[in-house]
Amino acid sequence: MPTAIGHMIGGRAVDSPTTFESRSSCDRSDLVGVFAAATKEQVREACVVAREAFADWSATPAPVRGEVLGKVGDALEREKESLSRLVTREMGKTLKEARGSVQEAIDTCRFFQSEGRRLYGQTVPSEMPNKELTTYRRPLGVVGMITASNFPIAVPSWKIVPALVTGNTIVWKPSQDAAAIAYAFAKLFEEAGVPPGVLNVVFGNGRDTGAHLIDMMNEGRLNKFAFTGSTAVGRVIGEVAGRNLLHPTLELGGKNPLVVLRDADLENAVQGAVFSAFATGGQRCTSAGNVIVDEPVYDAFVERFLAQVAALRIGNPVTFEDVYYGPFINERFFDSWQEHYGWGETDGATLAYGQGRITSDSAPSGWAGGDPAAAFYGWPTVWTGVEPGMRLFQEEVFGPTINLVKVDGVDAAIEAANAVEYGLSSAVYTMNRDWAYRFKTRIEAGMTSINNTTVGAEAHLPFGGVKSSGNGTRESGIWVLEAYTYWQAVNDDVSGRLQLAQMETQYVTPGDEVDVAELF
């Protein structure tokens, strides 16, 4: 058994009495690493260390903090291929997608490196003489973070990088399914010169270590919490944060609609729908859940879509770099996904394609080869005859499954798209600019694509949802700065005497009333 990797607390490796294994999602016999599982006392210690480091880090000039993050970007760029292959090995993302995920973190470092020189405040004119009013962004303090396994570098970078450039310190619990990736990622921050105690990492599962970190809000040890994961857990975090008057960042689930209207370029729409549904095996919060198709093109779309799905190449992305998607990240995701077949049967939907778990006796024509029993692989699954009232339509499945829904016209499509509790991402395929305008102004979603997929993000664009997909906070771009800073208003009076605004303001005395009609 390899030596367990300890938590990263104050620049030290800290062991725990219990450990856990991280095994490859692609081959459960492949042991990636053994990691310490943090106790509540160790999580508390990490918070104390982060609090102690905050004084010096927050006093470090913001441009200098930005330069440190630039060096993180340099290290990520140098190690991009190694990190990408580790992502593929540990959590099963295809190598193409893994490289894109690492590039997203590089882009994030580059963007916020420059933001270290642009943490602007404002100068505001006073209504009193000899007085200046100014505003400043100030860091919040210690930030607790929990991130998911499906984007184990990109999503943590969305939180860690802006939190650091604004002067906060961090206690981060990464997913237990991506512990090795998190360790490698955090070590690059050390290399770049992030001081000890500024970024602390505690390993473990969500039920124990994650719960301990959430409870640190009740102990008053955190000033901010940032979470990516399920809506159910997000509600718990939101409740705890609310009781402690914290405003958390919550990036939660989605049941994202992709609409194909009657004038759409069908080939483009099919390609976009396939990627939206099956990239990362559907294990994205932005994955399409319902493809809503206008009646005049429904049959043609379904025929082309099913042909594309049947041709998908599926398998171990470590062995076969050309597969479209790989395995489930873990067994519990697979078990949860399996349940949706019962939903569809109960709802009365039609199973157009898919047979559950891929096995040696039940594999699609696109199976790349190898032993499917070495991991948890799912057939690409397509349902037709799905309607908004069905559970299949409403609930997030988080796996390689898509519903095809028939509607008549743009208004019916928008109504169906909005008929879920989630509001994260959305997409519409149309060449009609009026229809595109109506969709983007009426859709209840934080993100919308026109003639593109429901998935994907860029480092300088806000990411986040509405309704049950989040609490209004945003990640990425300049908008995320609001999540990790507060505004300080400074009233600097140099008059040398007491001046009372509103009560002593010397407004100009008006002149005599003018009757314009009498002027000419």
Catalytic amino acids? 251, 285
Measured CA to CA, the distance from residue 44 to residue 194 in angstroms comes to 21
| Long-range contacts (CB closer than 8 Å, 24 or more residues apart) made by 429-436 | 429/258, 429/259, 429/260, 429/261, 429/264, 429/265, 429/268, 429/269, 429/272, 430/259, 430/261, 430/263, 430/264, 431/263, 431/264, 431/265, 432/261, 432/263, 435/261, 435/263, 435/410
Measured CA to CA, the distance from residue 437 to residue 450 in angstroms comes to 9
Which residues 6+ apart lie within 8 Å of 138 measured at CB?
167, 485, 486, 487, 488
Measured CA to CA, the distance from residue 276 to residue 89 in angstroms comes to 23
Radius of gyration of the chain (CA): 26
Question: What amino acid occupies position 207?
Answer: R
Residue whose tokens read 């360790």: 183
Please say whether the beta carbons of 170 and 145 come within 8 A: yes
Measured CA to CA, the distance from residue 65 to residue 82 in angstroms comes to 26
Which of 517, 26, 113, 76 lies closest to 316, judged by CA?
A: 26
Distances (CA, A) of 491 to 133, 407, 485, 486, 502: 5, 58, 19, 16, 14
DSSP 237-292: HHHHHHHTT---EEE----EEEEE-TTS-HHHHHHHHHHHHHGGGG-STTSEEEEE
- Identify the helix (H) or strand (E) that includes residue 97: helix 95-115
CA 317 to chain centre: 23
Please say whether the beta carbons of 8 and 200 come within 8 A: yes
